[in-house]
Chain A
Amino acid sequence: MSEDINIIISALKYWNIDLKRPDRDYSSRFKIQKLAYLCKSMGMSLNYKFTLYLNGPYSTSLTQDYYQAPKLIENLETDYKFDEKDLNILDKISEYVLNHPITLEYESEFLEAVATVRYLKNKYSDMLDDEIFAKTKEIKQHLKDSIIVLAINTVKKLLFKPEFLTEEARKEMDIWDKAED
């Protein structure tokens, strides 16, 4: 069992996510996989390798870890402490993904869409939104268009940096800011 599972358990604890034993519950396994991928893709130091599987990013080594320690996950047993950078990542995932209003009705679909879009954006960094949408639709035909669109917007929120506000971007906005009525 790798040390990384402690980071995942600590993240679940931080978010106050109550899961059933992952060896007995598919939805627990699904949620752990998608959230672990989001953490890694946002810059947390995790060694798990993910590939795009049937329901989005998936790691076999993470699977092995939670099958070896199902009770630790069920009881959220860990003493791992995050640094400020990681807490910032966890807060973003909490705000933009876990607490998005759509999760009240479509939690698993939204998680799958967000993790998949993030994976595609990472793999094909030059792809524009319309191409990401088409690619996601092609490989995830069961996902509603509206969920994919929200997922693309959510990934942009997760990845946004103040540096994106370049002088040229500000100029584009200024044009419209001057037209006030």
Chain B
Amino acid sequence: MQGWKKLQIKSREIWNVELSYPGEGVGHEEKYRHPCIVVKFNKFVDMATIMPLTSNVIVLKDFPYTYILNPNNSNGLTKKSIALIYQIRSLSKQRFVSKRGRIIRSNYENIQEILKDYFQIY
């Protein structure tokens, strides 16, 4: 995660995020690195609001406030994945490891609809 201060993080992008800081998850780094969708980057505090993605689609497909994404050249995903919209949270920029891609606008607009439903913002 060297040079994290220079990372440019933008909305709609998909990033690999480290869920344990170096030393915390020794031997489990791969397990705790997950892709996520960036909703908003807050440059004033170097934090990004994200929604986690997981390829464990079958286990979570019936949960409300989720959205399925298929892999394509744009988003950089390698497997069918599910966005856990209800797990929205802000994480430090230090946790961001590498950019995978960007989700297409129509997918992002659909996710925004579910997000509005989640927060009852109409």
When the two chains form their complex, are residues B110 and A146 in contact, meaning their CB atoms are under 8 A apart? Answer: yes
- Does A141 reach chain B (CB closer than 8 Å)? no
Count: A-B pairs, CB below 8 Å:
78
A-side binding surface: helix, strand, loop or mixed? helix
Interface size on A, residues (CB 8 A): 27
When the two chains form their complex, are residues B92 and A181 in contact, meaning their CB atoms are under 8 A apart? Answer: yes
- Which range contains the number of B residues in contact with the other chain? 35 or more
When the two chains form their complex, are residues B68 and A128 in contact, meaning their CB atoms are under 8 A apart? Answer: yes
| A102 to chain B: closest residue by CB | B122
Q: Write out, one digit per residue, whether chain B residues 68-99 have a CB within 8 A of any chain A CB (1) or not (0).
A: 10100000000010001001011110010000
> A101, A164, A175: which contacts B34 (Cβ < 8 A)?
A175
Q: Write out, one digit per residue, whether chain A residues 64-85 have a CB within 8 A of any chain B CB (1) or not (0).
A: 0000000000000000000000
B: residues with CB less than 8 A from A are 17, 19-20, 31-32, 34, 47, 52, 54, 56-57, 59-68, 70, 80, 84, 87, 89-92, 95, 106, 109-110, 113-114, 117, 120, 122
A: residues with CB less than 8 A from B are 101-102, 104, 128-130, 145-146, 149-150, 153, 156-157, 159-160, 164, 166, 168-169, 172-173, 175-176, 178-181
